[in-house]
Amino acid sequence: MLIDYLPILLLGLFAVLFAGINLALTHILGPKRPTRAKLSVYESGVQPVGDARQRFTIRFDLIAMLFIIFDIEVVFLYPWAVVFRKFSETSGLFILVEMLVFIGILFLGYIYAWKKGGLTWD
């Protein structure tokens, strides 16, 4: 079973090595003759206004929290979906309702956040 994970490991290794080697090579081989224009954020682009490192609005927090909560919901959907076919022969309606209750409770919260104006950007 462990051998099944080898492609994932190789993919990860390849990604890390590819990015790392490219960064290192350009750092070593690339000539560095910086000018003001070259060092600007977008070369030949829009002039940057202010500092990028300022405080972000708290509204991103709600977006991130919503993401995590529905992320966890999806995690719970997986084992349910895997065994659904097996259980559907005996108690299909029951486990369907079971998951609908699970999603329905979370949907209540989604409606609450929506009505509260959490999804609008005014």
Partner 1 sequence: MEFTLKTFIFYGFALLTVASALVVVTVRNIVHAAFSLMVTLFGVAGLYVFLQADFLAATQVIVYVGGILVLILFGVMMTSGRLEMRLHIERGQLLLGGVISAALLMLLLTIIANTPKWKNLSDDGEQLEPTTRRIGELILNGQFLLPFEVVSVLLLVALIGAALISRKEVRD
CB 122 to partner 1: min, Å = 9
Does position 23 interact with partner 1 (CB under 8 A)? The reply is no
Quick check: 73 and 103 in contact, CB under 8 A? Answer: yes
Instruction: Give residues with Cβ within 8 angstroms of 106, minimum separation 6.
Output: 69, 70, 73
Which of 25, 83 has the CB closer to partner 1?
83
Question: Per-residue string for binding with partner 1, 64-83, x by CB under 8 A?
Answer: xxxxxx-xxxxxx-xxxxxx
Cβ neighbors of 40 (< 8 A, separation 6 or more) are 47, 48
Q: For binding to partner 1 (CB under 8 A), which residues are involved?
A: 1-2, 5, 9, 53-62, 64-69, 71-76, 78-84, 86-87, 95, 98, 101-103, 105-106, 108-110, 112-113, 116-118
